[in-house]
Structure 1
Amino acid sequence: MKTNGVCYTHLQRKNQYEKEMKACIEQTVELLQRHTTNERKPGMLLGKIQSGKTRTFIGITGLAFDNGYDAVIVLTKGTKALAQQTYERLKEEYKTLSEADCVQVFDIMKIPTNLIAYELEQKLVFVVKKEIHNMKRLHDALLRYPQLKDRNVLIIDDEADYASLGFTKTQQETTEIKAIAGQIDELRKEVKNSAFLQVTATPYSLYLQPDELKVSETSPVFMPIKPAFTVLVPIPSTYIGSEYYFENEAVRKSLFVPIDERELMALKKPDRRRLKLEEVLTSKSIETLRRSVLSFLVGGVVRRLQQRKEGKTLEKYSFIIHTQQAKASHDWQENVVLTLKERLGQLAVDQPVALQQMLEKCYEEMETALESPPPKQDVVYEALFMLQKDYLLVTTVNSEKEMNQLLDEQGQLKLRAPLNIFIGGQILDRGITIRNLIGFYYGRNPRSFQQDTVLQHSRMFGYRSPQDLSVTKFYTTEEIYEVMEKIHDFDTGLRTAFEQGGQNQGVVFIEQDFSSRLIPCSPNKLLLSQTTTLKPLKRMLPIGFQTGYKTYIAKTVKDLDRRIKSKWIEKKPFLIDIEEAIDYVRLIKQTFDQQEGKQWDEDAFIASMSFLSRYTNSKHKGKVWCVVRSGRNMSRVRANGRVEDAPDTTANGNSELTVAKKLAQRIPVLILLRQNGREENGWRGCPFWWPVLVTPKNTKTVVFSRDLTKS
């Protein structure tokens, strides 16, 4: 393979590809040459959200041009903004070669109708939105210039999951997706020599669709459609992904700020029973929104003061409010935020001391996370100055036309002011780059979350400096945050399976039917808010629950005491049948209050435990290890206000979780912790049992889903 050609050399010089990136690009083109690829058996470039996939596939286009490919068709997600961003990016990358009449880049909707042979003999890039009219325009171009059909064409399907069957979609979405997929297939057939590369960060709908359904209750494994090959985009150390946000307790403490559900309702539409505009400075209905705007102001000021001290160019910063899709909601939210901005500006003039106290509180909340924090008084002074001089811009983005007007030369959202608040819905979805985001106010309904979009809605991932992260805040409801944690588990579990060859082995999907049996579950009916993902040594436990009153639960607790302690001989772990373990869990659930606290999905707990116990090659098949501890006095809520979620860990490291992880090799471990349940610790004054399930070390990726007919 030629690696010193004109196009690839130009892109390398322009982008300074790292060693790992060069290896990824060159491996992909080599595999494209070696394999026959099409939509049913594509080449796969698998990256992470906002991790450099576009940079990678542009490098692939250059190397492909140097190795026999004459044209590249880049299929983008179906928004004008993303198509324009991709077009501008490619045009900039190939600017020098375009001026030298070596490579030409076209937006398919603006392609000239009179291209001559001189132009058609150059290397060509067509940017095509995955939308019916764009696809038809491409088809027309192939008819107008038939010589294109005989040339070697590389088709790159960017954000490939959008045009593939996947998790549950609406009927309209399914119809549109099928139509576009059909057009892509027709395109491939029209071109005599083509290669097909799909680029995605959410490959589940591509990998997990069964080619032929062959499952049984004893083997609930779905064999996926296998890509011709898969190449992983290297992830630089500066990349910030879901691991950062959802696996670090210290980060959660400083970054995540919960929103009350009632606040989202107040921001959905005008309703003076919930919010009066004249009370935006004091109303508890929008307490978190008010705090988020002030924190964004303070965070942006902090970063600009740090840059000024270091003699650097002052950056502009952005903040997203993304809670509703309806334009009417965006208009109301813009009205609220503009009124809040106006009142804060007036407060800076009339009562600067009162505003100063509000700003100081925001500064103090982020100060401990800052390196070289600027003096508090400097931050407050600069924030007051920005409000008085109108340096904060509020913009609503909720239509294609508005989005295109807001894009800069690179196809990114233009930051016109030092501080920019963007209010919008679906149009702020993945693909559109928004620079220097340090605030996310997010409120989309988790019951409609889909794996291939939800984490990208929040726009949280990408290359972020540690200094920017130190002032970044993420505002959402507790429920949404927990769903996003669940989706993170799903994402990382499946990605690990893919990296270890899981795409060639199938992935286990199970659900529980009406009679509580385990049955296979088709992946294309999953809603991620209703799933539990199992991976090695994962913990499952009820969190945020409250016990029943002593009068109602004492008898059940006594029964559990007798049964468990009869097996707990010499205080050592013991084996029990899965049926008995299920009985314990069912009885424990009866001791929880069904009206107060977060409700525990014991069905998922039991189904997961049952699956892990029964589908194993261990000599203890059908058994569960049990680790018991008693005399515990864990509080229901920690000092920081968060509910307790680690009853199985201790500061000295010699915890029952440590014991369980050593035991959990091929079958699961059920940890049973007898809590004293004292009132001073937030409970109801009666002992109770707190269960924790630990999955085996050899667990393969498993996705459990409740029977959706019950929902």
Structure 2
Amino acid sequence: MAFDINKFKNLENKTDQYERQIARIKGDGKDISCIEKAVNEAERNLNDGINSFIIYGDPQSGKTEMMIALTAKLLDKGNKIIVVLINDNVGLLEQNLRRFSKSGLDTDPKNYKEILDDVYQIKDYKWVIFCKKNASDLSKLIKKIGKFEKIIIDDEADYASPNGKINKDEVTKINQLVGELLGGVGKTGRYIGVTSTPARLDLNNTFENANNKWVYFPSHKFYTGQDDFFPANLNNGNLKYQLEFLPEQYDLPQYIREALFRFMINVAHLNLFENSEEKYYSMIIHTSGKTSDQFRDHDDVVSAIDILKDENRFEKYVKRIHEIASSKYGDNKADNITEYILQNKNRNAILVINHKKDKENLEKASDPKSLFTIAIGGNIISRGVTFDNLLSMYFTRTVKTKLQQDTYIQRARMFGSRGQYLKYFELTIPEQLYKDWHRCFVFHRLALDSVKSGNPPVWPEDRRTRVAARASIDKTTVQMDSGEMSYEIFDLTKEIENVFSSGIVPLEKMKRLRSELGDNKLPLHLINFISYFSPDGPNSLAIHQPRTIEGYKDADKNNISRKKRLIGDGDLEKIKYPHAIHHIKVFFNTDKKARIFYKFVGISGTKFLKNFKK
């Protein structure tokens, strides 16, 4: 048979990479429905000419696997260059690059440094290129591929990429360089930001992202996150994990030591009485961003374990371990647990991670190789790092002024796939810090619930919390007032109208409405929030009668929306509802299509930020 070279051409034009990635993920026992939803919506955006948008999801909810699948889909669609931007952290770059490479993508992902040599010709080949958000790295990459069309996937997009000098007619360096790499949105580049905290990207107008076309990446079915660690109602006593509050004077070595003992006890209990085979677990200690404080914490942990090694000094500590084990798991297990800890006390790794080059310690902490792995750090461990088998978190890092919501949401490293051992997970934290952290998540969820309706987000903040750094908020388009939120459109049927006119108490009325409409039209989270923040009981909530939108000349009657708020002062009916801080009102059009609008006027200092860009 004659040799035919044509048989061997165009073999690279594969269009099944996405299907193979989905099959791989499914084969690993992971949920694929959330990934398919996000990738399909992202593809729809690109097909519709939306060249800059955000994909958002919960912290540690599997965004890396989603980005791998998205990259496969983009390659299948004929895109030649995919650039994945990573925070300026060598360990994080290598962790993500390794995961992409192991996935079996074709083409194999490259560290940008690999392609800088002239021997590598970009041409019309397919490339997946990783680069840190570092000025030197980005500048070199721009020289190599700047003129070529590309899609940028910006991981942790709200970090470094926004312009922190937006109100000074200046541009921060990373924002400038990422913009140069794009070559102009829709010209030579398209931009997909990926993050758990998109507020800054919206309020900063980063790369002109379309805030009404954001893509929600839902959490997989094995995920444990806000609903588990920060439930809306804290008063029902049904926490699914172990929460330990520290006293006001918590800055003493004994409290870290006690938390360390409880961690070791939980590890021992799991391996002795729950696991079919021994597993290694980790603990995070995050008290400060200062290196000196982190090394102090390191010394406190080392000192405690050293004493456990010395039988001439260990009686006090061993007795305390036995007491805690007995109170947690009963006298019949305390001896075994204590013996297990003493027999395995040398199987520990105490790792300080306080520099972006601590890649070896970062790897050991994120994938524990020692029975008792303790990771001590600050900013480096607060973003983008996934901690497998994390069993304990000691968190005392607070601020003197307001908590910045995006920063503290990212610091929730305990989120993730903790389901198998969630009831043994322990969070140790000062009570006031927990309450402030809880409020950050409540406000964050309220804002993102409004995005899911297809409307631009509204971001709440109050005296204790702030949405994002003020320097990053574009004052030319962002307004700050006591704004409102809305949810998905529904049919205003006679049955729904009857619920509004019924005489049942307001909160029960909301629950009945939700049972009729579903969560997208009236989220359970909103009901829980109202229930939680109701200082005057049922009088804290006012449910007003539905009103037509037809009288508003500047309203979008089909979309049932308005650039200015729809709920005016007159709609609040202050004489009828003098104590109401939560207001629910339905607006409808001539086709009896309707939306629920929510307005919160409760806590002094509460503000709502909204981007009114065209």
1:381 corresponds in structure 2 to 339
Q: CA deviation at 1:209?
A: 4.5
1:182 corresponds in structure 2 to 176
Structure 2 SS opposite 1:91: helix
Structure 2 SS opposite 1:162: coil
Q: Is residue 247 of structure 2 the alignment partner of residue 260 of structure 1?
A: yes
Aligned partners of 2:583 and 2:600 also within 8 Å: no
1:241 corresponds in structure 2 to 225
1:465 corresponds in structure 2 to 419
1:405 corresponds in structure 2 to 360
Match of 2:211 among 206, 227, 238: 227
Unaligned runs of 5+ in 1: 144-148, 212-223, 265-284, 513-520, 543-563, 565-571, 577-611, 627-659, 668-696
2:202 corresponds in structure 1 to 207
Q: Is residue 280 of structure 2 the alignment partner of residue 316 of structure 1?
A: yes
2:190 aligned partner, one-letter code: A
| 1:348-396 Cα distance to aligned partner (Å, 9 max, x none) | x34776545422332245439xxxx993332222122122xx1222221
**1:53–1:260 distance in 2 versus 1, CA, 3 Å:** same
2:350 corresponds in structure 1 to 394
1:80 corresponds in structure 2 to 90
Structure 2 SS opposite 1:240: coil
Q: Distance in 1 between matches of 2:38 and 2:80?
A: 21
- Look at both structures and tell me which one has the larger radius of gyration over its CA atoms: 1
1:126 corresponds in structure 2 to 129
Q: Distance in 2 between matches of 1:460 and 1:177?
A: 35
**1:111–1:614 distance in 2 versus 1, CA, 3 Å:** closer
1:453 corresponds in structure 2 to 407
**1:296–1:188 distance in 2 versus 1, CA, 3 Å:** same
Q: Is residue 306 of structure 2 the alignment partner of residue 292 of structure 1?
A: no
Q: Distance in 2 between matches of 1:25 and 1:337?
A: 44
**1:192–1:614 distance in 2 versus 1, CA, 3 Å:** closer
1:5 corresponds in structure 2 to 15
Aligned partners of 1:32 and 1:43 also within 8 Å: no
Q: Distance in 2 between matches of 1:508 and 1:203?
A: 10
Aligned partners of 1:617 and 1:666 also within 8 Å: no
Question: Where does 1:572-591 land on structure 2 (aligned, <5 Å)?
Answer: none
1:137 corresponds in structure 2 to 140
Identity %: 21
Q: Distance in 2 between matches of 1:232 and 1:23?
A: 8
2:533 corresponds in structure 1 to 540
Q: Distance in 2 between matches of 1:315 and 1:532?
A: 49
Structure 2 SS opposite 1:706: coil
CA RMSD of aligned residues (A): 4.1
2:350 aligned partner, one-letter code: V
1:21 corresponds in structure 2 to 35
**1:574–1:322 distance in 2 versus 1, CA, 3 Å:** closer
Q: CA deviation at 1:136?
A: 0.6
Q: Distance in 1 between matches of 2:604 and 2:137?
A: 38
Q: CA deviation at 1:623?
A: 4.5
Aligned partners of 1:533 and 1:703 also within 8 Å: no
Q: CA deviation at 1:93?
A: 1.6
**1:15–1:540 distance in 2 versus 1, CA, 3 Å:** closer
**1:233–1:295 distance in 2 versus 1, CA, 3 Å:** same
| 1:115-174 Cα distance to aligned partner (Å, 9 max, x none) | 345x7554211111111111111112126xxxxx34x421111111114548xx7x8999
1:162 corresponds in structure 2 to 159
2:356 aligned partner, one-letter code: E
Match of 1:62 among 72, 84, 92: 72
1:706 corresponds in structure 2 to 605
Question: Where does 1:104-123 land on structure 2 (aligned, <5 Å)?
Answer: 104-117=108-121, 120-123=123-126
2:473 aligned partner, one-letter code: N
Q: Could you state the TM-score of these two structures normalised by the residue count of structure 2?
A: 0.71
Structure 1 SS opposite 2:221: coil
Q: Distance in 2 between matches of 1:469 and 1:511?
A: 31
1:404 aligned partner, one-letter code: K
Q: Could you state the TM-score of these two structures normalised by the residue count of structure 1?
A: 0.62
Q: Distance in 2 between matches of 1:33 and 1:327?
A: 47
Match of 2:306 among 339, 342, 349: 342
Q: Distance in 2 between matches of 1:110 and 1:210?
A: 33
**1:227–1:665 distance in 2 versus 1, CA, 3 Å:** closer
Structure 2 SS opposite 1:440: strand
Q: Distance in 2 between matches of 1:332 and 1:510?
A: 34
Structure 1 SS opposite 2:406: coil
Q: Distance in 2 between matches of 1:438 and 1:532?
A: 40
Aligned partners of 2:256 and 2:300 also within 8 Å: no
Q: Distance in 2 between matches of 1:162 and 1:59?
A: 23
| 1:557-610 Cα distance to aligned partner (Å, 9 max, x none) | xxxxxxx9xxxxxxx98999xxxxxxxxxxxxxxxxxxxxxxxxxxxxxxxxxx
Aligned partners of 2:204 and 2:472 also within 8 Å: yes
Q: Distance in 1 between matches of 2:383 and 2:265?
A: 27
**1:124–1:307 distance in 2 versus 1, CA, 3 Å:** farther
| 1:314-371 Cα distance to aligned partner (Å, 9 max, x none) | 211111111111211122221121111111232xx34776545422332245439xxx
1:500 aligned partner, one-letter code: S
Q: Is residue 455 of structure 2 the alignment partner of residue 502 of structure 1?
A: yes
Aligned partners of 1:510 and 1:704 also within 8 Å: no
**1:533–1:294 distance in 2 versus 1, CA, 3 Å:** farther
2:129 aligned partner, one-letter code: F
| 1:412-470 Cα distance to aligned partner (Å, 9 max, x none) | 7352311011111211121112221111111112335322121322411111133x222
Structure 2 SS opposite 1:470: helix
| 1:64-85 Cα distance to aligned partner (Å, 9 max, x none) | 1111101100111222222222
Structure 1 SS opposite 2:214: strand
2:605 aligned partner, one-letter code: R
Aligned partners of 1:208 and 1:225 also within 8 Å: no
Q: CA deviation at 1:244?
A: 0.9
Aligned partners of 1:508 and 1:703 also within 8 Å: no
1:360 corresponds in structure 2 to 322
Q: Distance in 2 between matches of 1:34 and 1:532?
A: 30
Unaligned runs of 5+ in 2: 1-12, 464-469, 476-481, 486-525, 543-564, 587-595, 608-614
Aligned partners of 1:440 and 1:458 also within 8 Å: no
Higher helix share: 1
2:138 aligned partner, one-letter code: M
Q: CA deviation at 1:36?
A: 3.8
Q: Distance in 1 between matches of 2:167 and 2:329?
A: 46
Aligned partners of 1:486 and 1:532 also within 8 Å: no
2:577 aligned partner, one-letter code: V
Q: CA deviation at 1:9?
A: 3.0
Q: CA deviation at 1:10?
A: 2.8
| 1:255-314 Cα distance to aligned partner (Å, 9 max, x none) | 2212234332xxxxxxxxxxxxxxxxxxxx433222101101101111122355x3x3x2
2:523 corresponds in structure 1 to none
Q: Is residue 404 of structure 2 the alignment partner of residue 442 of structure 1?
A: no
2:571 corresponds in structure 1 to 618
1:591 corresponds in structure 2 to none
